Amino acid sequence: MLSNSGMSVWRVGLLGVLIGLLVLSCGLRTAQAQSVKEFLLVTGEWSWKAKEGEAPVVDRNRGAVKEIERYTFDPPFLVVNRGDTVVLKIHALKGAKHVLEIKDFGVGETTINKGEEKTIRFVANKAGTFKFLCTNHINAEKEGPMVGYIYVIGR
């Protein structure tokens, strides 16, 4: 049988262990929220030109065309967790110049000339699906839209 003071030491000890576990779990959660996700991307180019007698294709904005070109980000779909620091290393392989913008995360226009690799860094501080765009290839007339998507998983 434990004395009253023995019981109280036990309780204080148990409380200490519980507080310790709580602090540890918060620490782990914080560490998880601060993880860095790095992606290596390249800029790509798709083009098509009708051969002699070949039927045109329909462009969303321009109607029937015999020649079409699109610039892309590769990979075009990225998945991160809310709170992650996202690092995009974009290597411009195709196209003379790209201008990256991610309005939802405050990334202003960053120019990437052919052959260059630029690093863009931001914190994905909200959940949802967001676009990253090249404002130099914004629509069909400019061989776009050149667009990628970031899916941020909420917790």
Which parts of this chain interact with Cu ion (CB under 5 A)? 71, 98, 134, 136-137, 146
Q: Nearest Cα to 37, choosing from 76, 89, 73, 72?
A: 89
> DSSP for 13-36?
HHHHHHHHHHHHHHHHHHHHHT-E
Closest residue (Cβ) to Cu ion?
Answer: 134
Instruction: Supply the minimum distance, in Å, between the C-beta of residue 38 and Cu ion.
Output: 21
137 vs 148 by CB, closer to Cu ion: 137
41 vs 80 by CB, closer to Cu ion: 41
Instruction: Supply the minimum distance, in Å, between the C-beta of residue 144 and Cu ion.
Output: 7
Kind and range of the H or E element at 4? helix 4-33
Instruction: Supply the minimum distance, in Å, between the C-beta of residue 123 and Cu ion.
Output: 24
Instruction: Supply the minimum distance, in Å, between the C-beta of residue 141 and Cu ion.
Output: 13
123 vs 140 by CB, closer to Cu ion: 140
- Dihedral sign for Cα 91, 93, 98, 100, please: negative
Largest Cα separation within the chain, whole Å, is: 100
